[in-house]
Structure 1
Amino acid sequence: MRIAQLANFVGPASGGMRTALRALGAGYVDAGCRRLLVVPGPEDARTSTAAGDVVQLRAPRVGGGYRLIVEPWRVTEVLEEWGPTSVELSDKLTLLPVARWARRSGVGSVLLSHERLDDMLALRTGLDATSKVSVALLNRLLVRSVDTVVVTSEYARGEFQHVADAAGCPVLRVPLGVDLGTFRPHAREPVDVLRLVHAGRLSREKSPHLAVATAVELHRRGLPVRLDVYGVGPHRSELVDIAGDAPVRFRGYVDSPARLSRALAHADVALSVCPGETFGLSVLEALASGTPVVTADRGGARELVDETSGAWGSPDPRALADAVLAVAARPVPSRRAAARARAERYPWSATVGSMLEVHASVAMPESRSRARRVTSSSTATTAATTREPMTIAR
């Protein structure tokens, strides 16, 4: 198979999506597939790596360190040249024209849904119901445009199920994985402080405000507590204000997974409390590092934690503080062993195997030749008259 992975809104600090793209791509190549990755960047560039070719298309900044490919025809030109048997879309909004190209060209298409739009928009805007109609309309369009939708949790499946049934589009659940070699338990120094950790982007849709407020609630109760926050984002100043005089330390972005694992392993409890999280790679990374996790009682992250590896509460600082104390009261060796055992149920190899089955189910043997059935004369004419040709720096 020849699998093309396409992603927008990928930035230097977009940890979860970058991690998934990298792990899946490496797994596809290890399984004998050809793999292409197309992402936005400051300039056109093409590189060859051990995990396949990477094409970067110049794209403008759209805030938060992200870039957005605003010319989808440039993506399809790359695909027509490369000839995939299937494409894997990691963005619902901006790459829809590529899904239409795939259908016209006989190329299989898979939408890997990384967010639940209705709840994500509600978390960003504070408006709960106003966007639900427009999101439902978009989802109807999506399931009619792709061959298969892949979600990472039952919670994420919820926004698609009814519209997908009507369109006859399969919605398959494939949990993501964790690097169990890099994220692992580490020796810890005993201290007389309840050590909490939160790792993630500091933007409203990730609910870091709720994690900080939980630590503040524990501090208000007179407990010796410390929260280390790892990550960057647009709302750091708001979080500093929420923390006040509570012992909350903002550590910034960690560019080394091994260093992040050590930071996670040194905590007693990890906070991953976003109620709109569709999966929660940070949950698995903490669990794999031997640290139990407290989550909100709804959302995809909740599905990763059981009663031995963590706890959950309503998305309220007082309820989550109670959950933290319940976890901290358990014997340290048993709660850390349970966390690691829970993570070991989610190796990346299982995710890759399931995704390969999905790609095999949508790929058509003739798609490669169909995708290349574009005459050089028509391509040259179109590029000369209506488009600026893509310049790829090697």
Structure 2
Amino acid sequence: MHILRVANFVSPTSGGIKTALRHWGEGYLERGHRASLIIPGPGEPVTEESQGTVYRVPAMPIPRTGYSLMWSRVGMARLMESIAPDVLEVSDRATTRWMGPWARRRGIGSTMISHEHMTGIMVRRTPVPDVPATRIAAWINGKSSREYDAIVCPSEFAAEEFLRNGFPAHVVPLGVDLDTFVPSPEYEQVAPDGSPRRDHTLQIIHCGRLAPEKNPRLSIETTRALVGRGVSVHLTVLGHGPLRDELLVAAEDLPVTFHSYIRSRAELAAVMGRADAAIAPGPLETFGLAALEALACGVPTVCPDEGALQEVVGDGGTAAPSEAEAFAGALLELVNRPGAREAARAQAELFNWDTSAERMLAIHRQTLALHTN
């Protein structure tokens, strides 16, 4: 089976989607399938990688996001025709909506991965009142369901907005590299920012891209709340994004270090594993891979009591309302909880990429069968 993946929101500094694409692609190849991937440039037009053949095509930058969108339908269609896949896997519903019908006309199975929560986007990030915003989201989700053979969501939270309106959706949780993201032997000697540990200083990390939808300011304000309580604390911010400069200003008077971008997954794991606790503040996450990586490093994590993060964090941390004082209290409780680091690692071990890739392949086989029987 030749699986063609297409994804818009992938950049040199992007996180979860890029990681999922790589692990799924590697899983497909390991099981004897072919895998191709089309993503926005720049870079070599065609490369052979561990996840299969990667095509990078011209794209239009989206201001203040770090992302680009592939717009040329004619050029994309020609490339897809030349690749000649058996099934199509699309990780976007922006400028790629036409690809579901394109695949259907050619007898190609098609799957859309819903990496975002459309209802949350419409209600929280647009000026449209809640009731019509919810209806618009339902219409968009219904259109996606009709245009693709299968919809895949990474969490129950992400699937709920489809299921409550009668649209079928598969839930396929992502995984984590449990061999790379491991508890750090340096935990008691070195802080996440690389400095020697100082007694009684609470070392916390922020997990997530510095973008509005991830609510990174909550991590800064939680640190401020801890300082206000007289806690000796230091926050290391892991992640880049369009809000970085704004957050640097907001944190000027606080014990906060903004870590340079880390390309090496092993280095990222080493930095994460030195923390006492992690903050994963995204309220609308449909999964939360950065939080899962922190858990795998044995770092208990505080997340919002909304969205999919609480599904991922489970017994490896705690959920709290998205307010600085609530997060501060949750952090203090969590770091004093007996066995918290062991529980974090155990929670992460519930997720693995082998199972995730197997579930994706099962869905691809189902969509292929729809066009071959």
TM-score by length of 2: 0.92
C-alpha separation in 2, matches of 1:330 and 1:260: 25
Q: How far 1:365 sits from its partner (Å)?
A: 8.7
Q: Which runs of 5+ in 1 are unaligned?
A: 368-394
Identity %: 39
C-alpha separation in 1, matches of 2:86 and 2:170: 20
C-alpha separation in 1, matches of 2:301 and 2:267: 19
AA matched with 1:357: A
Q: Tell me the equivalent position of 2:267.
A: 259
Partner secondary structure for residue 353 of structure 1? helix
- After superposition, residues 1-394 of structure 1 pair within 5 angstroms as 1-42=1-42, 45-63=45-63, 64-124=65-125, 129=130, 131-163=133-165, 165=166, 170-187=168-185, 188=187, 189=189, 191-307=199-315, 309-331=316-338, 334-364=339-369
Q: How far 1:75 sits from its partner (Å)?
A: 2.2
| Residues 1:217 and 1:228: Cα distance change in structure 2 (over 3 Å) | same
Residue deviations 1:20-57 (CA, integer Å, cap 9, x gap): 11000000000100111011113771122343211111
C-alpha separation in 2, matches of 1:248 and 1:215: 8
Q: How far 1:236 sits from its partner (Å)?
A: 1.8
Residue deviations 1:136-159 (CA, integer Å, cap 9, x gap): 221121111001111011111122
AA matched with 1:181: D
Partner secondary structure for residue 305 of structure 1? helix
Partner secondary structure for residue 19 of structure 1? helix
Residue deviations 1:65-95 (CA, integer Å, cap 9, x gap): 2111001232222222222111001001211
Q: Which runs of 5+ in 2 are unaligned?
A: 190-196
Q: Which deviates further from its counterpart, 9-18 or 24-33?
A: 9-18
AA matched with 1:279: F
AA matched with 1:317: A
Residue deviations 1:283-337 (CA, integer Å, cap 9, x gap): 1100111101100011111101224x11110111111111101101123xx2111
User: Pairwise CA RMSD of aligned residues?
Assistant: 1.8
Q: Rg larger in 1 or in 2?
A: 1
Q: How far 1:133 sits from its partner (Å)?
A: 3.2
Residues 42 and 60, structure 1, Cα contact 8 Å, conserved in 2: no
C-alpha separation in 2, matches of 1:192 and 1:154: 39
C-alpha separation in 2, matches of 1:146 and 1:48: 28
C-alpha separation in 2, matches of 1:256 and 1:362: 35
Residues 148 and 171, structure 1, Cα contact 8 Å, conserved in 2: yes
The number of equivalent residue pairs is 360
C-alpha separation in 2, matches of 1:9 and 1:240: 25
AA matched with 2:143: L
AA matched with 1:120: I
